[in-house]
Amino acid sequence: MKQVIQRFEKKYLLDADQCRSFVMRIQPYITEDIYPASTIYNLYLDTEQFDLIHRSIEKPPFKEKLRIRSYTPVCSEEEPIYLEIKRKYAQIVCKRRMQLSYGECRRFLNNPYLSASQIEKELSYTLYHYQVQPRIFLAYDRISYVGKQEQQLRITMDSHIRSRFDHLSLNDHESNEELFHRDMILLEIKAERSYPLWLSSVLSDMRLYPTSFSKVGQVFYKKEKGELLCLQAS
C-alpha cells in the first residue's frame, strides 16, 4: 500500500491546562478521529554523522526526513510498518510512504531497488543517496481529532515524547529518555487550506502562536547540548 499526503502543518507548544482549555473551546467543531488515541513508534534514519538532522536544525527552506513508523510495538519481522519520506518546503508538508513488513523494510534499507512505483523509486534513490540506517528511536502518545465540517482538518496532541539512541527497535525500552521534564503537549494543526474562522478565533483569543518545533531535532539537540533548541514563532 502506497500513500501520498500533502498539507499545511503548524505546531504549538502548550502546557496541560492550556491544552484542556483549547479542547473545551473547540469541542463544538470537532469529533474524534478514526483512531482517537494511539501510540506512534518511529525509527529515524540518518547517516553516521546525522547529516539529515543537522540540516533540519539549520532551518533551510527545504528539508526532508526518513523514518520507519509503526502504530503498535513491532515484535516480529512479519509485522506491518510504514517507510516514509517527509519533505517540507516553507509550511507545506508532503509525506510519501509505503507499507511493508518490518523484515522487508530491513532488507530494502540494505539493498534499495527500483520498481515501477514512483514512491518506491523515490525511496530507493533517497536511501541509496544518503546511505542511512536507523539512528534514533522516538515515540509519543497521540490524541487525534478532525473537523466536523472540515474533514481534511486534523488536530493532534502529542505527549510523553520519549527517545533513545541505542536498542533501536520499534518498542519502548527502559533506556528511553523523556523530552520534557514537565507536562508539555505538542499541538499540531494540519489543514489543506487556511484555518476555519472558529479555529483562528480560538487561537487568537488564547494567544497561542505557532512555533518551529521538530521532535527529532529537539531530541538530537538535547542529546548533544543538554538543552532544548530555542523555540521561535514560525
Model confidence pLDDT, tens digit, residues 14-28: 999 999 999 999 999
Query: Hey, what's the cell of 70?
Result: 509503526
CA R_g for the chain? 18
Query: Hey, what's the cell of 213?
Result: 518545533
CB distance 74 to 171 below 8 Å: yes
216 confidence band (pLDDT: 50, 70, 90) = very high
Domains, the chain, in order of start with CATH, read: 6-223 (3.20.100.30)
By residue count, the chain amounts to 234
> What is the CA 145 to chain-centroid distance, rounded?
16
Separation of alpha carbons 92 and 60, rounded Å: 13
pLDDT tens digits, 102-134: 999 999 998 887 676 788 888 888 888 899 999
DSSP annotation string for 7-41:
EEEEEEEEEHHHHHHHHHHHGGGEEEEEEEEEEEE
Within 13 Å, how many C-alpha atoms sit on residue 225's CB side?
11
pLDDT tens digits, 59-100: 888 989 999 999 999 999 999 999 999 998 877 888 889 999
Say whether pLDDT at 159 is over 80: yes
Percent residues over pLDDT 70 in the chain: 94
202 confidence band (pLDDT: 50, 70, 90) = very high
Specify the residue for cell string 547540548. Answer: 225
Span 168-172, mean pLDDT?
96
pLDDT tens digits, 176-190: 999 997 789 999 999
Q: What is the pLDDT of residue 116?
A: 63
- For the chain, the average pLDDT equals 91
Query: Hey, what's the cell of 9?
Result: 502543518
CB distance 180 to 161 below 8 Å: yes
Query: Hey, what's the cell of 159?
Result: 505527549
